[in-house]
Structure 1
């Protein structure tokens, strides 16, 4: 059943199904139709997110198990609500000895019933990069031992990693020489530093604790999805959100199979087909295929679109110039992306790249048509294509490819040209032919090579762009988030209208998000930072002396790190935080330091997760401590709080605008937990902090929050007239008046019901008017349909009218 509106909750041992059950009346009163749950299957003990699934066949006992989930589903049903669950088909958690499938593979090797479940290269032993030092040194220092656990001898490394032994070794394990014993196993213990080069099984991105699954195998598909099909058949869930669909061998085939299996289950009366959305990162201009059998994406694309709409394009150049001047780095994003892709490919993905190259070399050698293509040529072609690939991946199968892939391959060919060695363009052309399903050679080898390329291009995009370059490029941090393109600074009204008309035509049931568990900055942090695009001169005036103060505090802090810190302090400044509130500033400092550590290590310029420069990090943390100490930085804090206050009305206007659009444009609006009030969170784990539901219940009852009140108001309309929101057309409405360029208006109609919506964009000048004109958002604005500000528009920057 298609949801009317969802509410995302993050489950873990400290927020269980019982905790969610207690909030069902509040969600029902708010107007939510479906709880949208993070993964509910059994994850590694203590998991804070649930994506490290160790058993997809049962519901996580830490969350309340199946009984707890049934009680939650029953409570929701009693309030006329349903459940959408997040599923993880791409990978499983394999650390800690809790995954019985992986455990069996380690014990029995290729003879295991689960050997085909994981994407393992069986030409050699399974590489386990869990050691801190070479094996012999670990043994000599006592870091590896045989211990009997639950009556079974096991290898235990550092008292943490529990590894099974071959059955034939268990009887003599206690007396065997350790090195000899280890050598007889189906796995090879290695230093963690070897993983990037030597790992012979597909992992999730660069995480050695997550092993890739072969969901394309029907047996694997059924084993990992049976629980969800049963829950759907029993009426306990209404659909799923598919995590990281681009990691799969054949996303299109997977999605079609998922739809076929759900459709084969007789739904309960009135429920309709299962709701299926996918986590899919779409590049600028990249369409989502309409023949996969899904209802759309989980909303990152809308988050990028609505955030870009808030930005003033006039701020792009002055802010880029300021960034380049301050940081000494590129004013544009392209060079940062290229460098990050080159670095990640040559370092964190070397092993995966080598196996991709080997697959194409084997393919080339299967046909005389490719005589003369050396392994070096093929490696250079693949490397350079991955440096510039314009999307996460293409969707070829080795013998065919969708029509939409052709434009992607053409763009890649154009972009790669400047990076090619003389005369080697023909090698790139051959690779692209194979991606198109048109190259010569053995069909089985072609399928394997194309699969390896496509399962490499996606993590390169994620790790190099979103998890590296986004932390290096700081023109304006509100344009650096999951699914965003920092090079695309702003979105015009006409472009936004065109995108929404496309949604109405092709994706009326896709999810609309403005905050997620993956976001790097909460929706209201981005809304506040977007205001700076309208006042770049003011920002330069304020930030210049702040940077000088940072340099005076510690001249060793890199200016780009300092500049991103100052943007973050401004964007995430808590509501009502006063510049002399020492305890409040201390709590804010703890949050900022958590963000700062992650930002420094993800950027990989002066520190990293693999080799943290703790001395530099400590100096950066100390800087935060000084800046947020009212005893040592009183003037700075007053100045920062003053800028937050000066821009607050514009920030709040942006927050209301993106909220109104999320609940009125075509699609299913999702509300990330707690974001019904100002979401000033930073990257995880900050964006997964506990939510104060008591406060939200009280404010909903009293009408004391503009944002929460707007959400409730629009959800009530969606409940009263679901057809116009679910199926209504989208038609732009013309606007006249002296503020016409700032107003976006549209109309949606269905079944005799009409919804008209108008919003004011980029209204910082109005909001910051010292004369107090901020209540007059609309001036002499008139809609082409006849409405005038004086007649209908209210003293907020959003207006809507539902005519029934």
Structure 2
């Protein structure tokens, strides 16, 4: 049970606990799932709906049912011979609030705290106000405003004998060294704290003193003294505010408005989220402390594998993965005997965004990624490349924005770096400045010049990050770094080129030795119009300093890429929103069949057990929304005309903002994206006469719209919301789908959605079957076995009606193969049947899919470009996968079923492997048994009942 046959992702929270999941295990088993795949199970911030804001690595989240609930869940899984994969979050923890004991420890004791080195804090900030302190950017308004408003309060915890500062739900512990000054009115209470320092040796004494204080404070006199002390620090009076302010200024934290974080935060965050603090898991003691629970649960047999979240945020992803692999394999021998006969090493995948052509590094010792790369591949395959240019032109003409996604991405990168991650850029520049100052040849490199150079390298970086080994870039790293280097050189002034070249060396260039680097030719210096001495490698800049700078650089390129591309540019560019997805490049419109075969073959060779996903908890649009929008690529001119007509039709409903007719809401780009979204997510069974259903859909789309507008950061943002504009956009949305529009837009919208719904459904069947049969481990996101017309979170994390799915699965088993339910395709049961049948074959012929080779099959005939076919082969066994693609031109205009009429295929045929030329084949998707003419299998026979086929020999059936 080590390597999953298939997984099902579950989003656990207090509304869907371990016991709730356990109640559905028999359904998961009947569906064909081998492993549940759970969101993080460690204790998260109270009320968390996702679990990625861990506050305690040492306990199973009590809101999920705690460890006992986990044991009950696993017991149910084992009863059905199933396993459990868990999501592990090593990169960051939830900070702020009052629940993270490790974080509170450093707020209380500063750099001498037990956990001071657990978080990635720069204790040597150049800002005197932050030297030795942690910026605490958790105030909702400016510090002075909140202080004068009495919202920052000194409080006493009598059960702990502890003074804290409270700000709503946030708690900031006061250092015990300051207790004597706090208790000036009651020196008898503070005397035990006199003489304490922040040194580790004194911290146990402080704990004893707090216990004594708690005892004294429980007396009548003690209570009065504590009350007087708190009153003396109350913001109700000028004297109290001043005392409280002076007390705060002496602490190891500096309270600040949340908006200061982008410019001044002195600790690593998860992207630009200031409630998630970076963890230094590269330190052995932090690695062990943060993984102790997971290791124990694994050794006891409660979990079977791990999914590592955001591996690119770590200082050393390679070293982390290798260390984790070693520990898991060591612990595997401690597992219960019944769980030690697995079919391979412990399952271990990483969340990693890969650019086209970028390989997952083989020396990480992982089983692959969590499947964003496959989602990108199969998503691009659904698009007709002939629609790329006309749709880009239509988008540009309609909105006035660039037709090229790369232009939007570049602008977004500059914006994110300047406005959201400025403090992080400063930190990289300071690390390089320290190196520069250590040598006479580079001591005149200014901080500002280094910041300019590094900033441009980050802006131009084509992938998430690089992974130097022993502080030197690999050949693979060099391929991407050189692109950024040349891009930066083209933008920077000539005077900065010498700095750029030296920075490139410090960030992993191959150096001759620790003492010197070959001199640069004088003619090169003259060419650049500058005389300079031959540069030397910095003698004092040892490997540790370079590695530190490289780490900081990589921990900056990664969030810039994520925030700029996924969270900004993807909400600005709208050629087709089906390509604006996590892990995808919207600039890459389509993927050919041959290219798809190449990616599958490479995965089969290098990472045969990687996850295959088409929906996740992070997707921006459900898999079936994307599949339907992709169908627009087949009718680009018709869609462009429709967009123009709808915009004209709804012009009277536009809202003006600030009494400026030119400044209307939502604006051309946001309006065009709104129409795509409505077309993509309109439920197949929703009638425009259903007022309640239309309103419910509009509420969901309004949630997406608000997030999309703020993420785009054009006319509003999370940082500075423009509520007038946002409300105007919402009003526009609800107006265009109001009941009175039934003779206008509200009639045309569902008609057009129906116009492309059949092509969209065929796309969905295609991507579903390819996910379930390609090399790798297919992952099913909760609930997506029926149509998935969800939008971005939180919409994609809505409760799942498992009972309906359970009942329909049971009914479907009685009705036979998926083709028997195609006539009623709109309710989604045919998709459920497809998933069940394909997973059943994976179970029945496990080795064929787990170890079988991948063989692309040739397609011939007049519509060869509208079919994809391949075989999975092991020994003498074969499974043949055939799917319709780009079907819209072949569909009957008056048809009602997502199926190409057999006659339309003409002489289109799949060329079978030699071994199958004379063998009888049976279809797991229908009742068909198509016969080949020699090696030619006619598509009109094979896809007569379903738009996809999964063929095997009778013995496999």
TM-score norm. by structure 1 comes to: 0.98
Deviations 1:567-589 (A, max 9, x none): 11111112201111100001001
Q: Equivalent of 2:249, from 183, 191, 198? A: 183
- Answer whether contact 2:384 2:633 (CA < 8 A) is retained: yes
Q: State yes or no: 1:284 paired with 2:284.
A: no
The separation in 1 between residues aligned to 2:386 and 2:406, in whole angstroms, is 20
Match of residue 269 from structure 1? 340
The separation in 2 between residues aligned to 1:727 and 1:163, in whole angstroms, is 55
Question: Number of aligned pairs?
Answer: 804
1:69 Cα deviation after fit: 0.3
Q: State yes or no: 1:508 paired with 2:509.
A: no
Match of residue 722 from structure 1? 846
Q: Secondary structure at the match of 1:404?
A: helix
Match of residue 80 from structure 1? 81
1:367 Cα deviation after fit: 2.9
Deviations 1:733-785 (A, max 9, x none): 11111111111111111133211111111111123533677333744321112
The separation in 1 between residues aligned to 2:61 and 2:811, in whole angstroms, is 37
1:403 Cα deviation after fit: 2.9
Deviations 1:509-553 (A, max 9, x none): 000000000000000000000000001112122221211133211
Q: State yes or no: 1:472 paired with 2:572.
A: yes
Q: State yes or no: 1:774 paired with 2:874.
A: no
Q: Which has the higher contact order (CA 8 A, sep 6+)?
A: 1
1:311 Cα deviation after fit: 0.2
Deviations 1:320-351 (A, max 9, x none): 01110111100111111111100111111111
The separation in 2 between residues aligned to 1:402 and 1:301, in whole angstroms, is 22
- Answer whether contact 1:153 1:170 (CA < 8 A) is retained: no
* CA distance 1:751–1:759, change in 2 (3 Å): same
Match of residue 408 from structure 1? 480
Match of residue 249 from structure 1? 315
Q: State yes or no: 1:666 paired with 2:737.
A: no
Listed as ranges, the matches of 1:337-486 within 5 Å are 337-396=409-468, 399-438=471-510, 440-441=537-538, 442-443=541-542, 444-486=544-586
Match of residue 595 from structure 1? 704
Match of residue 755 from structure 2? 646
- Answer whether contact 1:626 1:633 (CA < 8 A) is retained: no
1:150 Cα deviation after fit: 5.0
Q: Secondary structure at the match of 1:670?
A: strand
Q: State yes or no: 1:611 paired with 2:711.
A: no
1:633 Cα deviation after fit: 4.7
Q: Equivalent of 1:765, from 889, 909, 921? A: 889
The separation in 2 between residues aligned to 1:24 and 1:67, in whole angstroms, is 17
1:397 Cα deviation after fit: 5.3
Match of residue 562 from structure 1? 671
- Answer whether contact 1:522 1:682 (CA < 8 A) is retained: yes
The separation in 2 between residues aligned to 1:183 and 1:161, in whole angstroms, is 18
Deviations 1:184-214 (A, max 9, x none): 1111111212111111000111111100000
Q: State yes or no: 1:738 paired with 2:862.
A: yes
The separation in 2 between residues aligned to 1:593 and 1:65, in whole angstroms, is 36
Match of residue 164 from structure 1? 173
Listed as ranges, the matches of 1:54-203 within 5 Å are 54-123=55-124, 124=131, 125-149=133-157, 151=159, 152-170=161-179, 172=183, 174=230, 175-176=232-233, 177-203=243-269
1:23 Cα deviation after fit: 0.4
Match of residue 236 from structure 2? none
Match of residue 542 from structure 1? 642
Q: Equivalent of 1:239, from 297, 300, 305? A: 305
Q: Secondary structure at the match of 1:482?
A: coil
The separation in 2 between residues aligned to 1:747 and 1:579, in whole angstroms, is 44
Q: State yes or no: 1:796 paired with 2:896.
A: no
* CA distance 1:181–1:18, change in 2 (3 Å): same
The separation in 1 between residues aligned to 2:300 and 2:415, in whole angstroms, is 49
Q: CA RMSD for the aligned pairs?
A: 1.6
Moved more, 389-398 or 212-221: 389-398
1:398 Cα deviation after fit: 6.0
1:169 Cα deviation after fit: 2.9
Deviations 1:113-161 (A, max 9, x none): 1110000011211110122344333222211111223534444444321
Listed as ranges, the matches of 1:33-44 within 5 Å are 33-44=34-45
Moved more, 439-448 or 112-121: 439-448
Moved more, 671-680 or 228-237: 228-237
The separation in 2 between residues aligned to 1:399 and 1:610, in whole angstroms, is 37
* CA distance 1:150–1:525, change in 2 (3 Å): farther
Q: Secondary structure at the match of 2:494?
A: coil
- Answer whether contact 2:155 2:166 (CA < 8 A) is retained: no
- Answer whether contact 1:5 1:33 (CA < 8 A) is retained: yes
Q: Equivalent of 1:321, from 372, 393, 418? A: 393
- Answer whether contact 1:396 1:437 (CA < 8 A) is retained: no
1:399 Cα deviation after fit: 2.4
TM-score norm. by structure 2 comes to: 0.82
The separation in 2 between residues aligned to 1:602 and 1:380, in whole angstroms, is 26
Match of residue 270 from structure 2? 204
The separation in 2 between residues aligned to 1:461 and 1:65, in whole angstroms, is 36
The separation in 2 between residues aligned to 1:398 and 1:355, in whole angstroms, is 22
* CA distance 1:771–1:218, change in 2 (3 Å): closer
Moved more, 523-532 or 179-188: 179-188
Moved more, 74-83 or 634-643: 634-643
Q: Equivalent of 2:382, from 302, 310, 315? A: 310
Task: Could you tell me which runs of 5 or more consecutive residues in structure 1 were left unpaired when the two chains were aligned.
Answer: none
The separation in 2 between residues aligned to 1:589 and 1:644, in whole angstroms, is 15
- Answer whether contact 1:649 1:768 (CA < 8 A) is retained: no
- Answer whether contact 2:165 2:174 (CA < 8 A) is retained: no
1:456 Cα deviation after fit: 0.4
1:630 Cα deviation after fit: 1.8
- Answer whether contact 1:398 1:434 (CA < 8 A) is retained: no
Q: Secondary structure at the match of 1:515?
A: coil
The separation in 2 between residues aligned to 1:554 and 1:399, in whole angstroms, is 56
Q: Secondary structure at the match of 2:634?
A: coil
- Answer whether contact 1:340 1:468 (CA < 8 A) is retained: yes
- Answer whether contact 1:627 1:633 (CA < 8 A) is retained: no
